[in-house]
Amino acid sequence: MGMAHIDTSQAIKAEPAGSVTTAINILTSPSEAFTELGQRPAKVFPLVVIMFPLTAVMFWYFTIIDFDWFIDDSLDIAGLGDTQLEQARETMTSMSQTTFRMFGTFGSAAGMLLLWSLQAVYLSLVSALNGDRFKFTHWFSLAVWTALPYLLSIIGMAVTISLNPNGQLSSTDLDP
């Protein structure tokens, strides 16, 4: 009789890689990182590492922005008709800068979570149709971990804000 087939793709390594090691592997050795994430789909570390700087930079942006200029710039970008433009201006000016700051800060974080969740849902559906063992938690973990290079963009946003101290920085120019 032949040897029984052993599925090594589901074998768990004796020692889990640390979060920092996994983060480095995402950039330098993706196959090792993907193997680790397939076995241990951790999500907290990359969520904290991405969300904290993102919310901090967005809070900073909406704190230093010239609010009246921001409204004019945003409406100019939107390309609305005259009546729509006036309605939008009234709506935007009825909100305080603090309200805008909170929407901008938490909206950016919520948008990222929504994007990662949609990616994970799609990949979960495809995985289920193919009969794979990977579930939503695996795919969400993958989406979040592979977003770590976005930290470079967040750093770029911070540099852009610091180089524009007059508060007239368009949201379209924020991310270099």
pLDDT tens, position by position, 105-137: 999 999 999 999 999 999 999 999 999 888 999
- Give the torsion through C-alpha atoms of 39, 41, 45, 47, to 10 deg: 160
Q: In 3D, which of 30, 101, 36 has the Cα closest to residue 64? A: 101
Cα gap 148→22, rounded to integer Å: 11
Token pair of 144 as six digits:
């979040």
Q: What is the pLDDT of residue 143?
A: 93
- Sorted by sequence, the CB contacts under 8 Å of residue 3 that are 6+ apart come out as none
- Average pLDDT taken over every residue of the chain: 86
Q: Which residue has the higher pLDDT, 59 or 84?
A: 59
Give 7's pLDDT tier (boundaries 50, 70, 90). very low
Residues 95-107 have a mean pLDDT of 91
Q: How far apart are the first and last CA of the chain?
A: 63
89 in any annotated domain: yes
Cα gap 16→83, rounded to integer Å: 60
167 in any annotated domain: no
Q: What is the pLDDT of residue 6?
A: 36
Q: Read out DSSP for 46-93? A: HHHHHHHHHHHHHHHHHHHS-HHHHHHHHHHHHT--HHHHHHHHHHHH
Share of the chain above pLDDT 70, in %: 92
7 in any annotated domain: no
Residues 49-62 have a mean pLDDT of 95
Token pair of 115 as six digits:
């994007």
Give 151's pLDDT tier (boundaries 50, 70, 90). very high
Q: What is the pLDDT of residue 8?
A: 42
Q: How many domains does the chain have?
A: 1
50 in any annotated domain: yes
Share of the chain above pLDDT 90, in %: 47
5 in any annotated domain: no
97 in any annotated domain: yes
14 in any annotated domain: no
Residue 140 belongs to domain spanning = 43-162
Helix 19-28 to helix 136-145 angle, to the nearest 10 degrees? 70
Does position 13 have pLDDT exceeding 70, yes or no? no
170 in any annotated domain: no
